[in-house]
Every structure is written in C-alpha cells, then in structure tokens.
Structure 1
C-alpha cells in the first residue's frame, strides 16, 4: 500500500469505474433541485434520487460521481474529534437497473486490493444477517477469506428511509490494529475502539417498502455505493485524523500561519484550528454554488459556519477579517476537481469578507445588548441570564453562545443553559413543522410523478414555432384521460413540440394545438419536476384524444418579444460585470413578453452614473448588431470558451452556449434573437435591493421600451398642461413653484405664531396652581418649533411653573413640556411628564427634567392627555 493524496484517490476511483463503462458526472450543486426534503445535499446519491425511482431517465444506466456534501448534524463535535466535519466528498458508483451484487462486490474488491493496493489481511466485510446472496458472491467471486465476513442486523446493514426503495448493504472495513480478528464480538469491540473503520458502503436497493411494511422485490434493483474520500485518505496516508490528510493539512497550516499558532501545542487552540479548517472548506464551496449568508434556510447554515469560524479566529487572537484569505488555499487544493472554485474566486472572497465585516459589527452590537442585560441583573441583584435572553442574543443578533458565557463569567454571572436549550428545541420544532411532508423523492406527489420515465418530449422550438406531434398523455381534473371535450381544462404531453416550457427564468410559450376536429388554446407551458413538458390550456373546439396528431403553433410575436428580453439579460449581465466587477453573478431572472427582471450579486446600491454606463453599454451592443449564435458542446469545452454557468443550474455533459459576438458567452437553454439589433432599444426602469448581497434591475426592450417612452411622453405633456407651461420648461416651473410653496408655508407659520402669541393671555388666564407651582396647559395648531418658542415665553412670564403644550398638525400630535429650575428642584421632570401624557394618545417620548418632547397618534385624546397632567405633576412635587 503506497501513500496517495486526496486528489489522486478521487481520480483513481472515477477512472476505475469509467473503465467499467460508467459515465463520470461532475458533482451536483450543494443546492438540491426539486427536493424539498433536503436543505443541502448531504450524500452522494441524494441528487440521483429521480433516477433510482424511475421518475427520470438517467444519462446512462451506470454512473460514477464524486459529490460534495454538507452535514451539520454533529456541528458541535467538529474540531473536537478526529473525524467529524461539515464538508466532505462522497465517492460513488451507481447502477440504475443495470448490474447488481454480482458485479458491484467484485469491482469493489478489485478497486481496494488492486488499485489502492490495500493489504487483504487488513480488510473485513459486513453483510446483512439474511443476505446469503451477498455472502456467496463475496466468497466465490473474490478471494477474501470467509472468516473475515461478519453478519450484522438491520441497524447496521440494511438501508431504508421510511417507505420506498430500500435494501441490504455490505460494508468494507480497514483494520488499523495488529493481529487477526476472529469473532463477531472482537470485531464489534474493535469498531467501538476505532481500531476498525468502515470506509465503503455498498447498498443493494432490491425492495420497495409499502405503507403496510411489506418488502416487495423491485423488478429492476439498483446499486448505490458511498465511499468517504477523506476517510479513505486517512487510510492511504496512514494518519488517524482527517485534519492530517494532505489537502486538509495544507489548509490547517495556513490557519496556523495567519493566526500565528502552533498546532498540537494547546488542545483548546487545536479545536479552533480544526474547526476553522473545516468550516472554511464548507463556506467556500457553499458560496461557489451561489448560497449567500442570510437568517434563514441554507443561507443561515452558511452564516452560522462562517461566524463560528470567525469567532474561533478571535479566540486565537486574530483581530481582523481573515477567512476570505484562507479561500485561496482551499481553492488551490480543489480547483482541478471543481473548476468553478477558480472561476468564481473573486466573488467567493468578496462574499466571505463582507460577511466577516458584518460579524464584527454584530459582535459590537451584541456586547452593547449583553451589557444592558448585565446592568439589569445587577439592579435585580441576580446572577443568571435567562435562557430566553441568551437565546435571543444567539438567534436574533447572531452573538455566539460561548462569548455570552465568557463575558458573563467575567462578571461573576452565568446563563440558564437549560432554558437556552429549551428555546433551541422549540425553534427546531417550528422549523420541522414548517417543512412540507414529502415522499421519498422529496417532492410533492402528483399524477405526473406516476408517469413512465420513457414519456418524453422532443423540443424543436429553437428553429420552428410550428411543429407536428402526437398526443402522448392528456390530464384533466387531476387524472389521466383518453379524451377531453370542448370546455375541459387540460394538460397535454406531446412527443414533439415547438412550445418552450417555463425554465431558466423564461416564461412558457402560448399558442394553440390543432387537429382535424379539435383545437386547444394553450395559455402556458411548464415542465414538471420530473421533466415532463405540459401544454396547459383549454379545449375550445371538438374533442382531443390520446394518440391524436396535432399541429403545435406558438404565438410567434410573443415569442419574439420574449427572445428580445432574454438576449438583453445576457447583454445586461456582461455589462454589469464590466462596470461593477467580476463578482457580479446572476442569481435569478424573469424573462417575459413585456419586461425583464434580472437579479444579481452585488453588495451596495448602484450609483445613477454606473447605472447609466450599464444601460449605454447594452444599447451600444444592440446598435453594433452583434450576431447571436448557439453552439452545443461539452461542459469542459464551454468553460474553455469562457462561458458563464449560472448558480443552481443542472448541466449535462452536452450544453448549449449562447454567444452575442465576443461580448457575452453564457450557458443557456432559452430562446434568443439572431442579432442584437433585433432588440431595438434597452431601457432600465428600476434598480434596488431584494436581499442581502442581491440587487435587482427591471428593464424593457423593443415594443416594451417604445411603450415606456410613449407613457413618459404622455406623462410629461400632462404635467406641463397642469403647470400651464411647455414640456421643456417643466423643471424650471416646478422649482419656481417649490420656492413659492416654501415661502407661503413660512408665511403661514409666522401668522400662526403671531396668533398663538396673541393667545398667550388666554393661556395665562387659565393657569392653575398646584402646590405653589403654576401649571399652563393648551393645545394649538402649531409645529414643534413654534410650540417651543411659545413655551419659552410662557415659562419666562410665569416664573415658578410647568408648561405643557400640544401641537396638532396633519393628524399627528406633538407634546412639548418645560419646567422652571425651581419647579425641577421640587421634583418636576418634564421628560417623565411628556412620556406619561403621550402614552394616552398612543405615542411616546421623553427628555431632560427642564425640557422634553414627545409624539402622539390619537388626536381625539389630546384633551384627555392634557387633563391627566395635573395629577402627574402633583405626584411629582415633593
């Protein structure tokens, strides 16, 4: 057995199974597609579920992959053990109704003993208790010694998740100890002591478990295997910890360098070093797949991992953003297997750096709030922070629990950890309740899920908007039917269609299906989660039957308008990258007949100057009349061409590249114009933020742009007419009117002030005296500034006094309270007075003892509020 690096093991595995006629597929995104049961891909077989269930036809019946995975179930143990990690790679070979145990077992043995050259006297195998078939194959088709095979029960060697496909499994184990293991008891003990480690699980999916618990034999059994790449590397490199394998060690060494910390000198610091090493791998890969930090879903997982790593950096004495720098070594170690890491390097680093900087602000905010809690505990002469407040710091403000405990400990205090755990449990229960009930596939079951995978549709709409096809399936009222009549709502699947199904942000086509004695109006075209193209509409004439010949006719003018907008999104994407930087990535889009919407990653508002630059570049490319061409090629060739892949999209081996000259090159399955000049004109109508780190631009093209300009012209003419001026003088006229309005408003306020000053004598005549202090109350139609001016005058005139005035304006209330120095010395507090008075009108406020201000909402309660002041003031006076 020779030493092998992680990247070599991965390549050896995939090449071996390619030699066994397996199709090598690239790793799927960490973001599950059409699977509501998962937040993140957590196993090699997870993205392949549709092929196992027969809902989709696999590209080949034999497949091999190395799948990137995230699991956070044991997150609290990461860094504390030699084996736990949140990110890992899972090697797998899969058979979808092709070969079974008779091939899977010998190939597995061949790979580990001949390719990896693992010593046979170090290997043991486990099988399911009743799986005599597996035992026979192991003992007749490999040269393993029969006494090295142990039979285990369901808990260890049978794979099932609720109902659906399931079956026995066989695991291969490596013995790191000395001497032969002779009995099952010895084997189990060796496993508990970590002497023996399992590294490859071969799952034989041969049953379908029904709702009654019966195991029905599958007509076409499947093979699903999983080998942990990092775990295999520990064996090949003769180390006991995944943190000592080559790629992980490279990252850990960089963490040590940045933090100026030596590994294996301080056990507490070692935990931080290992945790940062693992977490930076996770966040780098998550961001490369388009996941952004947020407070929910997978974005919350990313934020939590990133902030935990940043927090442990602080524990190591790193007082700056540093995680974004560690990305370089992660990318360098994995870029050959995952080229998108290198392609999106600048973007990944920018996202991580910004989140680190936000975390620094969070720490500062959290400390302020925690100090408030500590002050409250001191006043109450208590020393335990409630579980509710501890959890609020953690959950709402993102403040790490360990930091809360550390700061409390410095104050001789602690936190109610049991209460915290209870709040955490309640949150998990809420999340679990919010998760939709799903079937094995993780998708909602409907009639389309029951259709055969062989029912597929050829799309010929790139070149034609009229095609001929045959009706394969008619669905009406939720059931498959043989016939639908005039008036019936239907979803129809054809063998061939010119209709584009909604996908990649582009809306579905409209049009009609026509036969000899029927016509169906199609008002939408969608693709189901298992890939069926549905023509959704209504039978308007005659009767349509299964197997009917049809003409599929797309609304061509609508299609052209959509194509204009779609090509414009590609030009917009390229222009944004040119003006704002290469970190800009598409994160969503809507391409419809009348407009386009484009969401993209950017971390601040766009200036009007930059927005104008973007718009001008797009229009320049339209006027240049760039040829738009499409090329079908391999994913590797497309990358060499510089084509941009979109986050979350699933690409096969053959992809479609859309080029607009040399300006824009993207992978895209949508419909486009043949030349950019066909777009006509491009006009941005809005720009704004839609989520943390995501901006949105809405724009119009072609007829939509003309309609927009015409609407603006009509608006300008209407405004000019209302202002009694010409269109070209609108701005000057508006500025003139604004000056006039401001002057009039000042004049009105001055008149009101004079009227109010004239009413001073009325207010003074109604003054009441409470315990030697004169109290003046009144409500006036004035703003706060005028109220303060009158209040000052009243206080000066009255001497030892309290003044409370209510200003009513625009259905809102402003309270101003003032107290003379001698009134304050007797206990009067203007701030507390307005606070209590404002409450009555549904408002609040406060201020100094001698002068304060508050706001109110309910104008009808102003007099009641003023009357309450007498009792409040009387209670204040000592």
Structure 2
C-alpha cells in the first residue's frame, strides 16, 4: 500500500465520520517558541488548550513534521527520520475515549477492500496508563482486545502534558507485533523494537499544577471540556504495509536511496556502514526538499541552519560513499518524483528548491576543500608534537564552526596515521545537544503563557478597522501586566491592552506595527507595539503617560497618521519591487521575506547570484514607471481558491485562512495575498531609491530601498557628494568616472613601480646569499641574514629563490632578519633534505627559543620569530649547530 494511499484512506475515513479535513500546516510553525512543526497536534494547540475557540467539533489532518534532536540516530534504526508525517484525529469537547478507541480500531483492522488498513487483530497490542481503568475496560468492550494484550504503563510512558501547569491526561498506545525474529515475547513493556508503536491516543481530561518534572505533578481537577488528540505514524504504518525492513525503504524514501547507490557504484545491503550512509542521504534529502518547498532557505541561524546541516550531512555521506562531484540534481529529482503524489506543491516549486540545493552543494564542496586545508595544518601540528591522536577540541571546532564533518575528519586523520579523541569530541557534542535541549525546553515552557489570553479571545476576534479609519472609539476588554491579567494600570506602567476593536495595525506580513496613542478623559497611553499573540486577538503594548486605564473603560484609539502613511508607501513599494524583480529575472525570483517601515523597505527573494548593475537599474526603473503611471491599488476579500485562480501570489511564511485579502496594483501585474495597509494609487508612493543589494544565504538575495521623502533625501545627499567630487577633482560631473579611473590607474602604476624596486632589492639579496652555501652535516645549505627584506613574506620569497639556485641534492636555506624590531627566521628544505632527517618546523622552534619567541611548520617550510632582535645571530648559529649534529 503506497504512502499516498494510506494518507487518502485516513482522510477519507475520518472525513466520512464528520471530521473537518484540515490541510497540513507549514513545517514553519506559527508558534514563536517552535522553529518547526514537531508534532501533528502543534497547529491545534490553541484549540486544545482553549486559548482560541475551535472552529470545529472534530477534525483530522495528515501533518508534515520535522524533528532533528535525534539526527545522529538517522539511518541506524528502523524508525528515526527527520521528516515524518503524523496522521491525527481530534475532538474538541465532542467524542472522548470510547469514540477515539472505536475509530482507531476500526480503521486499523477493517479490510483493505472496505477502506481500512487491514491489520490483523492478533498482531496488535495496547498500552494504557496504569490508573486509567476506564480505557482498560473500553479496549475490551469496544475493540474486543483480550486482557493478555493490554498492558498498564506509568506516567513516564503513558501520560501527556505540556510540561507546564495546564491541560494533561493519560495516553493509550497501539503497537504492532513484528514477530519473534525481532525480539522476545512479552509485549511492548518488554521490547519496543519487536513491538512497534503505531498510534498514540491522548485523553486530555485533567488540569495539572505544581509541575516538578514529567512524572511529578499534582492533578487538581477535571477539564471543563475534554479533548482527544491522536497521532498515527505514517512512515511506520507504511513500512509495515509495504513489507520492508525500515522507513528508509518505503516508496517515498527508497528512490533516493537507490539513486545514491547508483551514483556511488555501491550496492545497498552489501556493507552495513555504506547502508547507514545511503539511508542518511535518503532521509535528509527528503527532509531538505520539504523544508525548502515550505520556504526555508539555507543560512547560519535558526531554521536555515537546521536545513544547512541536513544538506551538508547529505553531501558528507555521498563523499564517504566515494562520490566527490555534485549529486543533488539527481537525488532531489528522485525525491521530488516520490513526494509529489502526496504533496503536489513539491513539483510546482521544484525549480526554486533545486536551485537552492545545488547552490548550497557547490558552496559546501568548496567548504570541504577549505576544511581539508585546516585539517592538514592540525594534523601537521599533532605529528610535529609526536602525538598519536588529533585532539577532540580541534575535531569539534572543525565540525561545529567550519561545518567539516566528523566522519571525514576521522577518515583523513587515519590516512595521516593519527587517531581522533572521539571521547572528547562526543563529550563536546553532548554538551551542545544538552544546551539545545535546555533552550528548546525553555522555549516550550513559554507555550503555556498564552493561557492569559484565553478569556479575552472567548469574547470573539478583535475587529480591525484600520483599513478605512485612523481613529475609533473602543472599550478595554482586558489588561495584562507582567503576564498577569489585572483590572487597572496607572502612570508609569507598561501593560498590554486588549480592545474590542482597533485601528492600530498589528505587526504582520513584513509591515511593522503602527504607532499611536490611547486616550480618554485624563488618560494618555503611548502605544509601543501592536501584536497578535494568538489567532484573532490583537494586543497593544502601551506605556501609561498619565491617568489610569481600567477594564471596561472607553478609549479613543489614535493612529500616528504620518508614520502610517510612510509605512503604507513602503509596503506598496515592496509589491512594486517584487513585481519588477519577476519582470526582470523571471518567475522564480519569488519573495522570501520582507520588512516595511516608515520610509524604508527590504525584500528577500530566491535567487542564486548577485544582480548586475544594469539589472538593478532596470528593477528600479520598472518600479518607478509604475509610480509614474499612477496605477490603481485595489483590495478584495474573497475565497483563497478563487484568489489563487486569479493568479494571486501566496507568499512563503504567511498563513492564510479560507478567505483572504487580495491586493492588486495595476490589475494582474502585481496581485498578491496581503493583509497589510496600502496606498490608494501608486503615485502616492512618490519615488523608490534602490540603495543596496546583497546575499543573505546560498540561494537568497536581499534588496533594500528608501521610499518617498526618505528616497528624495538620499538623492539630495548623493547630489552633494557628487558636487564635492567635482570640486576636489576639478572636473565636470560627466567626467568624474573617467577622472577617478585615471587616478586609480596612476596608483596602480605607482604600486607596480614600488614592487619592481622592492624585487630588485630582493634580487640583490638572492645573488649575495646563494654563493655562500656550505655543508652542514648531511645537507648543503645557506644559513645567514637577509636584512634587505621588509616583511616576512619577502624573507620567504628570498629563501625559496635561494633554494632553487642551489640545485639538486639535499639542500636547505635558513634566513633571518630584523623586521620592525622583531627577529624573524624562515627555513625551507627540499625533499632530499627531509629524507636526511631535516625538519624545518623543529629547526625553527629550537632557534627562535633563543630570541624569546615561537614558531613551527611542516618539514619543508617553517617560520617563527621573537622580540629579541639582538639575539638573531645567536639564533642562526644555534640552528647551524643543530644541522651539523644531524
């Protein structure tokens, strides 16, 4: 049974039984405390916790999820995957334990011909919370499961909570018995490898408090509304139904694994180490494909860093399989073909995602080359010091800072005859993971903070009136100070104000929050920020300047009109620049983020290379022509499917409901889904001055522009700059570029003259030193001073040229110089000298110790120095003596 068919059966089954079928949310979580959607219930948290009233009594979804905490286990077990799909059914005060158990058992055990999943009753086991007698009895009554296959488990395994005070409840899990060849008898309590968890049913029925740990808390009562949250692991069901050994061999993953095997010329199943590498590639390529389809781009922080790590681990694994050249075009194409039947957007966005992937691969292949150089130096130092192992700190820095994979470090160190302190490396990695987990735990703990908004949200959604008006009368529904609801706030207080309606725009869609005031007789509060802490609710953070604000009070809401006007100009300018980018570069130059504030706009877009000067001029010109043409700006609220059919762009990172707001500028030329505020016609923008374009990550660029009066001010500053250049260069405006080129050429010619004179001086040193070669033990060489040089680079240049003059045989040159009051020594030797026991690095270390310094290097080239320039002759004599003793 194909994975897409399991998805279809799931949604059909629950849809036919009165559940609202909810599309998968983006992998980019709405929850500000989560980077990704990590579980199927995440999009439903506001409804399950009661913060936001649920729009449906029962729902079902197949949710895309990403988890990377156990990334090191990927490929080694049957079930660890970074991307997975969680099939869920949810009840919000509707059915409870009996209904959830009945649905789960019927879908699992009904025949495939009847639309079920066709599992045999006898292969399924159930666990319940040890004190949940109700669930224990219902499994027997509703599903007919014998008590011999129902096991009671403790809080550690069968109790769900957020880890904070709030809703919680017992769990019941369904396991599949894979057979005696996978482990001992005795059910999931004995072996969870043989008995594989398929489905988890959470019965959210209690309120808990005084949470001391996952298993230590106080149950303080029953919830007024009992909810159901269940999750069935799609990949686990798929690999059982498809008769394969693990999740990496199912139909959505195996094609990538097979392509990796073909490219490497190695056979899957022949070598356990290679098998793990192929499974890592298969998993990570799929995860990266899905993340990029949802708008994530590789970068060095947050979501982009996780994506970059997945991509780099894939490249690393292909390298260890012997594939040194780029392979992403082949691997990602295989993954696209496998995932598109379930997620059509994978195909429609593939050109953009492949461009991001190949750009990252090209960049990282260069990083691997640079990392190899860094590792070579570290290996050389370890060898010089007589160490048998490379220290774990170096391996960790290479891995964590430079992105150089530990597997390659191990392999290359072994080639140099060194081990790696893996225990220290593992310890540092463990510390890093612990920090990440603690940070994640800290962030998760903030989820419960939204409960303070529950009471206010139950009054309904905050009505936003700001599209048409800049002031309104409203009533204070609630006040929050330091995270706690209060009845009033006074002068000097900073607090959140919940209003019934507002004209103040809350930050969203790249547009910053409005500025303004809340006023009443004797009361003035300055608005510091406006946000949507939960869906449908607008919160105003204010500083109370005078008087007292109280719940139930009437206030006048006043928007700062000049600031709003300039923000509107910037937001509409962003739409124009986006359309101009697509006109100039093509449809793949899609927006990936924006910032619009008074007089300034910033737009990030998908593109792999810097814009040429003529492209930037063209983009700016197209946008300003649209302003000149005074295009009408119109908005319309309509169903999302209808808006998309009209060609409206839905932008990454934005969340849309069934009904959307569509903004047209000049008709279909610029047509986007957008909740922001805009000008009435393009001429009101004034002018756009494109001031900067840069890279923000592989495959993503950023343009920045000034808008309106700020753009005019910048033009004035540039005019003053040009006038100053005219005066300084004594040239008319049109001649300034040529005059600057002329000056640059003059400077370059002077630099060449200086370099030539320097080289002539160095040539004299070479001619003087080469004839002084004499025998030092087993080698012929020159040991002397070269005070003609001005830098260490010059000293190396002279030494290497003298060595070339000495010809064949065992030859060495050791030169010293007083450079800016510091004794500097360089030693170069040919391979024959090294064969005779010469090690340039050791010679330098010994000699520079005389001048109070340090240094070292490889057997054929080394450099060092010290502060005691007066001791240079003694240092060179020490070096010569060491040579004679070889």
TM range (shorter): 0.7 to 0.9
Looking at structure 1, the residues matched to 4 and 797 of structure 2 have their Cα atoms a distance apart, in angstroms, of 75
* Deviations, residues 658-698 of structure 1 (Å, cap 9, x unaligned): 23322223222211223323323222011223344432211
Q: Secondary structure of 2:397's match?
A: helix
Is structure 2 residue 85 aligned with structure 1 residue 89?
Answer: yes
- Per the alignment, residue 21 of structure 1 pairs with 18
- Per the alignment, residue 769 of structure 1 pairs with none
Alpha-carbon distance, 1:594 to partner: 1.3
Alpha-carbon distance, 1:565 to partner: 1.2
C-alpha distance 204-440 of structure 1, shift in aligned 2 (>3 A): farther
Is structure 2 residue 16 aligned with structure 1 residue 33?
Answer: no
Is structure 2 residue 422 aligned with structure 1 residue 417?
Answer: yes
- Report if the CA contact (8 A) 1:163-1:208 is conserved: no
Looking at structure 2, the residues matched to 594 and 315 of structure 1 have their Cα atoms a distance apart, in angstroms, of 51
Looking at structure 1, the residues matched to 522 and 27 of structure 2 have their Cα atoms a distance apart, in angstroms, of 49
Q: How does 1:263-342 map to 2 (within 5 A)?
A: 263-342=268-347
Is structure 2 residue 120 aligned with structure 1 residue 119?
Answer: yes
- Pairs aligned (count): 813
Q: Secondary structure of 2:63's match?
A: strand
Q: Secondary structure of 2:660's match?
A: strand
- Per the alignment, residue 207 of structure 2 pairs with 208
- Report if the CA contact (8 A) 1:804-1:818 is conserved: no
- Report if the CA contact (8 A) 2:762-2:789 is conserved: no
Looking at structure 1, the residues matched to 174 and 29 of structure 2 have their Cα atoms a distance apart, in angstroms, of 29
Is structure 2 residue 173 aligned with structure 1 residue 168?
Answer: no
Unmatched runs of 5 consecutive residues or more in structure 1? 751-782, 850-861
Alpha-carbon distance, 1:349 to partner: 0.7
Is structure 2 residue 253 aligned with structure 1 residue 248?
Answer: yes
Is structure 2 residue 95 aligned with structure 1 residue 99?
Answer: yes
Alpha-carbon distance, 1:699 to partner: 0.5
Alpha-carbon distance, 1:314 to partner: 3.7
Alpha-carbon distance, 1:472 to partner: 1.3
- Per the alignment, residue 644 of structure 1 pairs with 649
C-alpha distance 333-185 of structure 1, shift in aligned 2 (>3 A): closer
- Per the alignment, residue 501 of structure 1 pairs with 506
Question: Which range moved further: 669-678 or 346-355?
Answer: 669-678
- Report if the CA contact (8 A) 2:47-2:54 is conserved: yes
- Per the alignment, residue 197 of structure 1 pairs with 196
Is structure 2 residue 11 aligned with structure 1 residue 11?
Answer: no
* Deviations, residues 464-487 of structure 1 (Å, cap 9, x unaligned): 223332221234677644445566
Question: Which range moved further: 363-372 or 274-283?
Answer: 363-372
- Per the alignment, residue 659 of structure 2 pairs with 654
C-alpha distance 846-47 of structure 1, shift in aligned 2 (>3 A): farther
* Deviations, residues 632-677 of structure 1 (Å, cap 9, x unaligned): 3444444444433333333333333323322223222211223323
Of residues 677, 682, 694, the one that matches 2:683 is 677
Q: Secondary structure of 2:678's match?
A: coil
Looking at structure 1, the residues matched to 383 and 766 of structure 2 have their Cα atoms a distance apart, in angstroms, of 40
Looking at structure 2, the residues matched to 272 and 864 of structure 1 have their Cα atoms a distance apart, in angstroms, of 51
Q: TM-score scaled by structure 1?
A: 0.81
Alpha-carbon distance, 1:47 to partner: 3.7
Is structure 2 residue 466 aligned with structure 1 residue 461?
Answer: yes
C-alpha distance 514-107 of structure 1, shift in aligned 2 (>3 A): same
C-alpha distance 376-110 of structure 1, shift in aligned 2 (>3 A): same
Is structure 2 residue 703 aligned with structure 1 residue 703?
Answer: no
- Report if the CA contact (8 A) 1:35-1:441 is conserved: no
Alpha-carbon distance, 1:547 to partner: 1.9
- Per the alignment, residue 615 of structure 1 pairs with 620
Alpha-carbon distance, 1:874 to partner: 6.0
Looking at structure 1, the residues matched to 67 and 586 of structure 2 have their Cα atoms a distance apart, in angstroms, of 33
Q: Secondary structure of 2:286's match?
A: helix
- Per the alignment, residue 187 of structure 2 pairs with 187
Looking at structure 2, the residues matched to 795 and 376 of structure 1 have their Cα atoms a distance apart, in angstroms, of 30
Looking at structure 1, the residues matched to 169 and 350 of structure 2 have their Cα atoms a distance apart, in angstroms, of 42
Q: Secondary structure of 1:437's match?
A: helix
Alpha-carbon distance, 1:232 to partner: 1.6
Is structure 2 residue 630 aligned with structure 1 residue 628?
Answer: no
Looking at structure 2, the residues matched to 721 and 366 of structure 1 have their Cα atoms a distance apart, in angstroms, of 50
- Report if the CA contact (8 A) 1:476-1:490 is conserved: yes
C-alpha distance 459-442 of structure 1, shift in aligned 2 (>3 A): same
Looking at structure 1, the residues matched to 796 and 370 of structure 2 have their Cα atoms a distance apart, in angstroms, of 32
Looking at structure 2, the residues matched to 502 and 66 of structure 1 have their Cα atoms a distance apart, in angstroms, of 30
Alpha-carbon distance, 1:563 to partner: 1.5
C-alpha distance 284-620 of structure 1, shift in aligned 2 (>3 A): same
Alpha-carbon distance, 1:257 to partner: 4.5
Is structure 2 residue 222 aligned with structure 1 residue 233?
Answer: no
Q: CA-atom RMSD, angstroms?
A: 4.2
* Deviations, residues 810-850 of structure 1 (Å, cap 9, x unaligned): xx99999989989x99xx9997524x745849xx896879x
Unmatched runs of 5 consecutive residues or more in structure 2? 212-216, 773-783, 830-864, 882-886
Is structure 2 residue 155 aligned with structure 1 residue 154?
Answer: yes
Q: Secondary structure of 1:528's match?
A: strand
C-alpha distance 172-431 of structure 1, shift in aligned 2 (>3 A): closer
* Deviations, residues 751-791 of structure 1 (Å, cap 9, x unaligned): xxxxxxxxxxxxxxxxxxxxxxxxxxxxxxxx776666667
Alpha-carbon distance, 1:866 to partner: 5.9
- Report if the CA contact (8 A) 1:92-1:225 is conserved: yes
C-alpha distance 273-610 of structure 1, shift in aligned 2 (>3 A): same
- Per the alignment, residue 856 of structure 1 pairs with none
Question: Which range moved further: 301-310 or 606-615?
Answer: 301-310
- Report if the CA contact (8 A) 2:90-2:230 is conserved: yes
Alpha-carbon distance, 1:80 to partner: 3.5
Alpha-carbon distance, 1:589 to partner: 1.8
Alpha-carbon distance, 1:110 to partner: 2.9
Looking at structure 2, the residues matched to 406 and 549 of structure 1 have their Cα atoms a distance apart, in angstroms, of 72
Looking at structure 2, the residues matched to 793 and 639 of structure 1 have their Cα atoms a distance apart, in angstroms, of 76
- Report if the CA contact (8 A) 1:34-1:529 is conserved: no
- Report if the CA contact (8 A) 2:695-2:701 is conserved: yes
Q: TM-score scaled by structure 2?
A: 0.80
- Per the alignment, residue 50 of structure 1 pairs with 46
Q: How does 1:495-644 map to 2 (within 5 A)?
A: 495-515=500-520, 518-522=523-527, 524-528=529-533, 532-539=537-544, 543-644=548-649
Looking at structure 1, the residues matched to 164 and 562 of structure 2 have their Cα atoms a distance apart, in angstroms, of 48
- Per the alignment, residue 780 of structure 1 pairs with none
Alpha-carbon distance, 1:592 to partner: 0.7
Question: Which range moved further: 65-74 or 219-228?
Answer: 65-74
Looking at structure 2, the residues matched to 33 and 446 of structure 1 have their Cα atoms a distance apart, in angstroms, of 13
- Report if the CA contact (8 A) 2:450-2:534 is conserved: no
Looking at structure 2, the residues matched to 605 and 424 of structure 1 have their Cα atoms a distance apart, in angstroms, of 36
- Report if the CA contact (8 A) 1:448-1:528 is conserved: no
Q: Secondary structure of 1:206's match?
A: strand
* Deviations, residues 151-198 of structure 1 (Å, cap 9, x unaligned): 33333322245333322111223345599x9xx97334885562x433
Alpha-carbon distance, 1:226 to partner: 0.7
Q: Secondary structure of 1:512's match?
A: strand
- Report if the CA contact (8 A) 1:55-1:453 is conserved: yes
C-alpha distance 476-74 of structure 1, shift in aligned 2 (>3 A): closer
- Report if the CA contact (8 A) 2:53-2:458 is conserved: yes
- Report if the CA contact (8 A) 1:837-1:868 is conserved: no
C-alpha distance 53-831 of structure 1, shift in aligned 2 (>3 A): farther
Looking at structure 1, the residues matched to 543 and 379 of structure 2 have their Cα atoms a distance apart, in angstroms, of 67
- Report if the CA contact (8 A) 1:461-1:498 is conserved: yes
* Deviations, residues 370-414 of structure 1 (Å, cap 9, x unaligned): 444444455455443332333333333333333333344445543
Looking at structure 2, the residues matched to 349 and 740 of structure 1 have their Cα atoms a distance apart, in angstroms, of 46
Alpha-carbon distance, 1:719 to partner: 4.6
Q: Secondary structure of 1:576's match?
A: helix
- Report if the CA contact (8 A) 1:394-1:400 is conserved: yes
Is structure 2 residue 71 aligned with structure 1 residue 75?
Answer: yes
Looking at structure 1, the residues matched to 647 and 360 of structure 2 have their Cα atoms a distance apart, in angstroms, of 29
Of residues 686, 693, 713, the one that matches 2:692 is 686
Alpha-carbon distance, 1:711 to partner: 3.0
Looking at structure 2, the residues matched to 34 and 356 of structure 1 have their Cα atoms a distance apart, in angstroms, of 31
Alpha-carbon distance, 1:544 to partner: 4.0
Q: Secondary structure of 1:562's match?
A: helix
Looking at structure 1, the residues matched to 353 and 797 of structure 2 have their Cα atoms a distance apart, in angstroms, of 55
